[in-house]
Amino acid sequence: MRSPELVVLHAGPLATVQDLGRPGLAKIGVGASGAADRGAFTLANRLVGNPEDAAGIEVTVGGFSASPTEDLVMAVTGAPVPVWVDERREGCNAVLRVRAGQTIRLGVASSGVRSYLGVRGGIAVPAVLGSRSTDMMAHLGPAVLEDGVRLPVGAAPTTCPTVDQAVTRGATGGRLRVIMGPRDDWFTAESRRALVTEPWTATAVGDRIGIRLDGPVLQRAVSRELSSEGLVRGALQVPPRGHPTLMLSDHPVTGGYPVIAVVVDADIDRAANMRPGDTLFFEETRKQDLT
């Protein structure tokens, strides 16, 4: 019996297959990758009754449409977008039943950047190094989705969806907690203070690798070059011009610019859905305060 497929009709500006990534492989030069907004991604899977790590589709800005070859259960979460099944308007964060041959269409996001299409059974493309995620930095996993691509859908799990709709609160930017270091001592006291007191704005220079932020210029107290060091998701790496880059899911595993602070893992999802022009603040915290 042939497995159901989801046929991509229009991929939009950028759509990729994502799951929860490839953690633990930095020692061999492979980043974790995975969904940029993990909270929204796992919510989509919970709504359709999947395990939280089942692969789905990350849609950037919107403008995506697809059609299943068999009846499928789906959900759209993350950045709020208008959703239609054929001509019927549907909602985000809800269980959607899409019949064979119907078209599910995502309009343009009203806020945020990344929406998620969860499909009961998960997107069953071949795994690479234990994950089905598209890593745009390392060029691992399935290719960026294009019009006409046919995506296999896995067998439906034995568990059933338990809710029809989830109540969520949209959150992008805002106040993100940071742990200072490991190289905060490479910056002046004024710069360290500015990081956690002044507003920062997301610029148009951003993708799944990271977001360049605009705000005060962070001045160095140490002028010598830094040997390459490991990078993690949430690192605030500061190049010579003094405007930090916030590292996201497809960040490189090493970098040669000092990291002044790291956004705590629980707050990264909000940063991953920031649009150019969105404002955020950083708030210093300590590891012991997170337990």
Give yes or no for a contact between 206 and 276, defined as CB atoms under 8 angstroms apart: yes
Across the range 158-186, mean pLDDT stands at 82
| Mean pLDDT, all residues of the chain | 94
Looking at the structure, tell me whether residues 180 and 146 fall in a common domain. no
In a domain, 206, yes or no: yes
Which residues have C-beta within 8 Å of that of residue 24, sequence separation ≥ 6? 32
In a domain, 235, yes or no: yes
Looking at the structure, tell me whether residues 283 and 189 fall in a common domain. yes
Q: Among residues 206, 208, 290, which one has the least CA distance to residue 244?
A: 206
Q: What total number of domains does the chain contain?
A: 2
Looking at the structure, tell me whether residues 134 and 202 fall in a common domain. no
In a domain, 260, yes or no: yes
Taking the CA atoms of residue 270, residue 109, residue 277 and residue 139 in that order, the dihedral angle to the nearest 10 degrees is 70
Domain C-terminal end among 97, 121, 152: 152
Looking at the structure, tell me whether residues 109 and 212 fall in a common domain. no
Looking at the structure, tell me whether residues 24 and 60 fall in a common domain. yes
Looking at the structure, tell me whether residues 247 and 122 fall in a common domain. no
Across the range 102-128, mean pLDDT stands at 96
Taking the CA atoms of residue 211, residue 128, residue 154 and residue 270 in that order, the dihedral angle to the nearest 10 degrees is -20
Domain C-terminal end among 152, 184, 217: 152
Looking at the structure, tell me whether residues 208 and 261 fall in a common domain. yes
In a domain, 195, yes or no: yes
Q: What is the CATH number of the domain that holds 92?
A: 2.60.120
Looking at the structure, tell me whether residues 129 and 185 fall in a common domain. no
Q: What is the pTM of this model?
A: 0.94
Looking at the structure, tell me whether residues 99 and 197 fall in a common domain. no
**Three-state SS for 26?**
helix
Looking at the structure, tell me whether residues 137 and 207 fall in a common domain. no
Looking at the structure, tell me whether residues 9 and 118 fall in a common domain. yes
pLDDT at 50: 96
pLDDT at 170: 60
Q: Among residues 18, 54, 44, 45, which one has the least CA distance to residue 33?
A: 18
Looking at the structure, tell me whether residues 16 and 143 fall in a common domain. yes
Domain C-terminal end among 120, 152, 184: 152
In a domain, 84, yes or no: yes
Q: Domain of 39? A: 5-152
* CA angle at 248 for the pair 154 and 201, rounded to the nearest 5°: 130
pLDDT-derived band at 287, boundaries 50, 70, 90: confident
Across the range 279-284, mean pLDDT stands at 96
Look-up of token digits 């691509």? 149
Q: What is the pLDDT of residues 218-259, one digit of tens each?
A: 999 998 889 999 999 999 999 999 999 999 999 999 999 999
pLDDT at 162: 72
